[in-house]
Amino acid sequence: MASGARNGGGGLGSRTTAKMDRQQGSTATPKAPAGKPRLSAAGGGAYRRTSSGPLPAAGAGGGRNSSESGVSSRVRVAVRLRPRNAEEQAADADFADCVELQPELKRLKLRKNNWESDTFEFDEVLTEFSSQKRVYEVVAKPVVESVLEGYNGTVMAYGQTGTGKTFTLGRLGDEDTAARGIMVRAMEDILADITPETDTVSLSYLQQLYMEMIQDLLDPVNDNIAIVEDPRTGDVSLPGATVVEVRDQKSFMDLLRIGEAHRVAANTKLNTESSRSHAILMVNVRRAVKGRSEMNVSMSAENGHSSSMMDSLRPPIVRKSKLVVVDLAGSERIDKSGSEGHTLEEAKSINLSLSSLGKCINALAESSAHVPVRDSKLTRLLKDSFGGTARTSLVVTIGPSPRHRGETTSTIMFGQRAMKVQNMVKLKEEFDYKSLCRRLDIELDKLIAENERQRKYFDDEIERITAEAQYRVAEAEKECKVSLENEKMKYHQEYLDSIKILEEKWKVHQQSPKKQIKEESTSNGDVQDLLQNEKMLRQSAEDESNDLKNQLSHWKKMEV
């Protein structure tokens, strides 16, 4: 139930980013989940959903925030009349029933007196002869189908104690299979439709006792369960309640029996009547959506990643829907209940939540700006069922006795007001980041192990290569040393040899210049002597020639 203005997104889910509250279409029939045949259509033609439609095709503009608002869907209300019981047959034998039903017109006439009556229209009018199967099909089956498609759903019974609420919702049908109530039939359909390998169904079963206490019917010691509201999405949950996974119908029936036994025991202990407590069955359905890859497509297109890599990064899509079945406490007024003391307190408290529910429904029916959701735990719990995002079906139960005309009238009026409440049905679909995280964790662990293995191999290789290199270096060093030594020796020898040669040469050299100088000086002296001699010889020759010339000239002169 939404606080604040009606239909204002219900305050639920409208601000979420991770959630993909997907809008249903407007006219066609919703598709059954892939791979499973759709449950057969509801028997009562007029009690069909009018606002449901096909889901948008994968990736076809139906991205994360494609629909923040959902689709308007009115709360559906059926009225069911209980047949006269033995007491009424005796006591009211002379009186006509206070109501007259016209099921084909979906009308109920409430007799004021013998000649006057008020007429009311309902979505479905179920007579005292209506079978449990038919009641399930017109009241609950469309909601169950919706839950299986990923929408939240609520089925609720409202009416005076003894008019058949528990008969309608909670009969197990142990003794007569045709008597199975809505809870049992709903679970049969849910279990038949889900894929056990990928989908899970879990439930909690609670009752709201007097003094606004919520007790876990699967663990009755836990009798003060808190209602927690997600500040982001506005979704309410009961984290303290036992949640049991249901795999087959038998275990479900066992849980219902356990819950019922605890309900009776708790009420006996507290000296209360179970008709004064609200019983709430919460069935959580979590389904994997197969073959949808819009995020993958857009991400891989953006980044150009290979599809196999993207496959491992793509968060799976899950639909997490919830079916809430509420068997409300008797709606009769306290003064009529004849309660005293403790029981009166209890009745007051129960009536507080019921009257608070009535007020909320009035406010929603009148589109009032303020819906007093927070006035009671029941209305907080049913926040999503009235004015929220759930598909809601209400069955109001009445008895035929004219002695209870007042209660019957108020029940009918409650139903009439509830028919005016609009919900905004939204698909509860989201990316399953948790399972992606788990999957990536596993892959990360694998990679860590592989990395460790490779690192070890790498380290071993490095060690091996280092050892080999060191050995080779040592060998090479050794070889080098030897050859260097050899070279050194060789060059040393050569050095010594050349030194020797040089020394010899030097010695030779030392000796040879003196001799040469000597020889040279000797020859120089000889030449000078020779030159001197030559000079003298020439002089004497010149003198002689001059002498001879003189003699000759003398001789010539003389001759002359």
Residues that bind Mg ion (CB under 5 A): 165-166
Give first-to-last CA distance, the chain, whole Å.
Answer: 186
- Confirm or deny that 166 is annotated as ligand binding: yes
Shortest approach of ligand ADP to residue 39 CB, angstroms? 24
* 30-89 residues near ligand ADP, rule: CB under 6 A: 82-83, 85
Shortest approach of ligand ADP to residue 209 CB, angstroms? 16
Q: Which does 82 bind (CB under 5 to 8 A by kind): ligand ADP, Mg ion, none?
A: ligand ADP
C-beta separation of 194 from 288 below 8 A: no
Among candidate residues 190, 390, 199, 189, the one with its CA nearest the CA of residue 286: 199
Q: What six digits make up the tokens of 99?
A: 């109501």
Provide the pairing of β-strand 317-327 with 427-431: antiparallel
Residue number, 159 or 358, with CB nearest to ligand ADP:
159
DSSP 379: H
Shortest approach of ligand ADP to residue 425 CB, angstroms? 28
- Confirm or deny that 341 is annotated as ligand binding: no
Angle at 530 between CA 527 and CA 531, to 5 degrees: 85
Residue number, 85 or 416, with CB nearest to ligand ADP:
85
Q: List Cβ neighbours of 180 (8 Å cut-off, separation of 6 or more).
A: 132, 136, 171, 172, 173
Shortest approach of Mg ion to residue 273 CB, angstroms? 9
Q: How far is the C-alpha of 145 from the C-alpha of 30, rounded, in Å?
A: 9
* Contact region with ligand ADP (CB under 6 A), list: 48-56, 140-148, 164-172, 440-448: 164-172
Q: Which does 393 bind (CB under 5 to 8 A by kind): Mg ion, ligand ADP, none?
A: none
Rounded to 5 degrees, φ, ψ at 476 are: -60, -40
Q: Which of 161, 284, 337, 385 binds ligand ADP (CB under 6 A)?
A: 161
- Confirm or deny that 161 is annotated as ligand binding: yes
Shortest approach of Mg ion to residue 377 CB, angstroms? 19
Q: Which of 275, 353, 376, 401 binds ligand ADP (CB under 6 A)?
A: 275
Q: Which of 24, 154, 166, 321 binds ligand ADP (CB under 6 A)?
A: 166
Q: Which of 106, 165, 391, 417 binds ligand ADP (CB under 6 A)?
A: 165
C-beta separation of 184 from 253 below 8 A: yes
Q: Which of 33, 62, 142, 159 binds ligand ADP (CB under 6 A)?
A: 159
Q: Which long-range contacts (CB under 8 A, 24 or more apart) does 474-478 make?
A: none
- Strand stretches in 348-451, DSSP E: 391-398, 422-425, 427-431
CA dihedral 414, 420, 423, 424 (to 10 degrees): 180
Neighbours of 183 (CB within 10 A): 29
Using DSSP's 3-state secondary structure scheme, residue 97 falls into coil
Shortest approach of ligand ADP to residue 159 CB, angstroms? 6
Shortest approach of ligand ADP to residue 84 CB, angstroms? 10
Q: Closest residue (Cβ) to Mg ion?
A: 166
Residue number, 317 or 398, with CB nearest to Mg ion:
398
- Neighbour-count burial of 402, counting CB atoms closer than 10 A to its CB (0-12 exposed, 13-18 middle, 19+ buried): middle
Residue number, 229 or 260, with CB nearest to ligand ADP:
260
Q: List Cβ neighbours of 345 (8 Å cut-off, separation of 6 or more).
A: 210, 211
Does 397 help bind ligand ADP (rule: CB under 6 A)? yes
C-alpha distance from residue 365 to each of 5, 105, 214, 344, 420 (Å): 11, 23, 27, 30, 5
Q: Which of 120, 136, 158, 167 binds ligand ADP (CB under 6 A)?
A: 167
Q: Which does 167 bind (CB under 5 to 8 A by kind): ligand ADP, Mg ion, none?
A: ligand ADP
Shortest approach of ligand ADP to residue 254 CB, angstroms? 21
Does 103 help bind ligand ADP (rule: CB under 6 A)? no
- Confirm or deny that 234 is annotated as ligand binding: no
Q: How far is the C-alpha of 283 from the C-alpha of 190, rounded, in Å?
A: 10
Residue number, 30 or 159, with CB nearest to ligand ADP:
159
Per-residue binding letters, 343-382, with ligand ADP (x by CB under 6 A): ----------------------------------------
Q: How far is the C-alpha of 255 from the C-alpha of 188, rounded, in Å?
A: 14
Residue number, 276 or 417, with CB nearest to ligand ADP:
276
C-beta separation of 122 from 415 below 8 A: yes
Shortest approach of ligand ADP to residue 395 CB, angstroms? 11
- Confirm or deny that 165 is annotated as ligand binding: yes
Residues that bind ligand ADP (CB under 6 A): 82-83, 85, 159, 161-167, 275, 330, 397
Annotated binding site for ATP: 159-166
Annotated binding site: 159-166
